[in-house]
Structure 1
Amino acid sequence: MKPTAPARQDMQAIKATGRDTRTALLTRSIRANVPLRKTFVQAPRSAACRHGPLRAFVTGRDLRGLKAYLMIVAACSSGASGWTTEHDSAVWARMMDIHETAGDASARTGAWRTLRRLENRKLITCARDGTMIRVALLREDGSGEPYDRPVGDTEENRFLQIPATFWTKGYDERIDLPGLALLLVVAREKNWTTFPADKAPQWYGWSKDTHERGLKKLLDLGLVERREHYVKAPLTPSGYVMAYQYQRTAIARPRRPRKQSALTTSTTTKSSASPSRSKR
């Protein structure tokens, strides 16, 4: 009896997706949360201008660049190699989902150009050797200084955290540029903080409309929740005014370590429950 030839596998069905690639990077970095200095979002209060490097992504409409940068921060998790990561340009393109709308050569070129934009903003350095691209982190404030792990000891070293589930659950695929910018803004502040749109141009460097659309997108995705907050206003007809306060929902909050004392948990809960209006 003539042997039956084995069925051919559907290569397209087993090929890694962009999400697969991002998940693999996060798994390799062994991180439940990705730390990012708050100065990326907003400069310290002592600065002449409060705008952080995030502003350039928003005003430049560079969603791809912002997503790529956050993934690079997540992937460069070890100081032993100088906070670097190296991959074939096809892997970089797939990580950025460029392969979905471009051929192989164009996708590789698109990935390199995206990384070069980040280098021009003094957030990374990148070098190419054949098809391999090596990226090294620089400090998040755009100063061009070498990267080191933020530890929170000074205002310039304080950091926000993005849970790895933001990528592994696919929220990064559904969010738009205003939404991602505002997710970083909300993550930068304490729970139940107000984010007045009329302050956005001064504090962050983008328009009121962008600010409002970003908060709406986060609400639609279930990444934040809001509540009404009333304050006394003697010169208004009602004698008070209402403003919305926001905080991240459970899916968007940093994952806690598995081993944590009851005392630490209790202290954190009490701190999170208290309303806050940041002066920013």
Structure 2
Amino acid sequence: MKTTTPAERDMQMAKATGRDTRTAILKRSIRSNVPLRKAFVQAPRDAASRHGPLAEFVTGRDLRGLKAYLLIVAACSSGKEGWKTRHDSAVWARMMDIDQTATEQAARTGAWRTLRRLQDRNLITCTRTGTEITVTLLREDGSGAPYERPVGQSEQDLFLQIPAAFWTKGYDELVDLPALALLLVVAREKPWSKFPAEKAPQWYGWSADTHERGLKKLMDLGLVERKPHFTKAPLAPSGFIMAYLYQRTTIMRPRKPRKTAAAKPAVTAGTTDRTKNAAKTTSTKTAVPTARRGR
């Protein structure tokens, strides 16, 4: 039986994990929320099909690719590198947790293949120089157009937000593909909306069963909550129709930016005394004219 030396144990304890790597990427981007155009989930109403690029991930069972894409959006969303991010292929592999089940070389190859799939879907471009891979973000609608930060001024430019806690708290490690897809669907709509499973094939491009399993998993994880909604229906046997409304729980809602208090000027003891004396002098001077006007 192979024994592990103390040096090898120390190395394993010191080695960064996939979550460590994802957290470091988010910290570098300096964003508490990651913006993602809603067109990635569902095309605008005037489109020939309502299916967004997300449908290809779900029908292709590409959970690894979807997770990688969302993290790339997070890494590039600050725009500091011109919507690019660059890492060694080993870092990309660790970011995607491929290193947990593959040798180093196989993990590097797996990371490159995952990125190439995203490129084939016109969501990114990727280039490789030696062991370094550079990824450039493209527009989320899969059109291949250059990426620009969404500002929400048109329907094609509306965006949802994913809080960084999704990665830093490890929820990305708990969701399966239906759950992750439905998390984006729920995030796309306003709080307490309906998400009828029978509309999923037409609206999103996946089955009603996938839709229902995704919502159930999100509720089991505490990422989404629901409540019943009753509508009067005179011709229904019960006289009403019940449907569930859903919204994200607090942990998955966008974080509000912290308000910074205005800095107050420093006041020294000498300044305080002079201020008090000046106030007394002003008060005395003001009182005399007031008394004269009273006469």
Q: TM-score normalised to the size of structure 2? A: 0.85
| Preserved CA contact (<8 Å) 2:151 2:158 | yes
**Partner residue, 2:264:** none
Return the alpha-carbon distance in structure 2 between the equivalents of residues 234 and 58 of structure 1: 39
Alignment of 1:1-280 (within 5 A): 8=7, 10-259=10-259
SS at match of 1:68: helix
Return the alpha-carbon distance in structure 2 between the equivalents of residues 144 and 77 of structure 1: 17
Return the alpha-carbon distance in structure 1 between the equivalents of residues 33 and 149 of structure 2: 13
**What do residues 202-237 of structure 1 show as CA deviations (whole Å, max 9, x unaligned)?**
000000000000000000000010000001122211
Task: Report how far residue 10 of structure 1 moved.
Answer: 1.2
Return the alpha-carbon distance in structure 2 between the equivalents of residues 89 and 196 of structure 1: 41
Return the alpha-carbon distance in structure 1 between the equivalents of residues 32 and 82 of structure 2: 21
Give the count of matched residue pairs: 255
Task: Report how far residue 80 of structure 1 moved.
Answer: 4.3
Task: Report how far residue 260 of structure 1 moved.
Answer: 8.6
Return the alpha-carbon distance in structure 1 between the equivalents of residues 154 and 77 of structure 2: 21
- Out of 17-26 and 72-81, give the one that drifted further: 72-81
**What do residues 19-39 of structure 1 show as CA deviations (whole Å, max 9, x unaligned)?**
000000000000100000000
Extract unaligned runs of 5+ from structure 2.
1-5, 262-295
Return the alpha-carbon distance in structure 1 between the equivalents of residues 107 and 234 of structure 2: 59
- Out of 58-67 and 226-235, give the one that drifted further: 226-235
Return the alpha-carbon distance in structure 1 between the equivalents of residues 235 and 78 of structure 2: 55
Return the alpha-carbon distance in structure 2 between the equivalents of residues 198 and 92 of structure 1: 38
Inter-CA distance 201–30: structure 2 relative to 1 (3 Å threshold):
same
**Partner residue, 2:274:** none
For 1:59, give the aligned amino acid.
T
Return the alpha-carbon distance in structure 1 between the equivalents of residues 250 and 221 of structure 2: 12
Return the alpha-carbon distance in structure 2 between the equivalents of residues 221 and 179 of structure 1: 9
4+ runs deviating over 6 angstroms: none
Extract unaligned runs of 5+ from structure 1.
1-6, 262-280
For 2:105, give the aligned amino acid.
A
Percent of aligned positions with the same letter in both sequences? 76
SS at match of 2:31: coil
**Partner residue, 1:269:** none
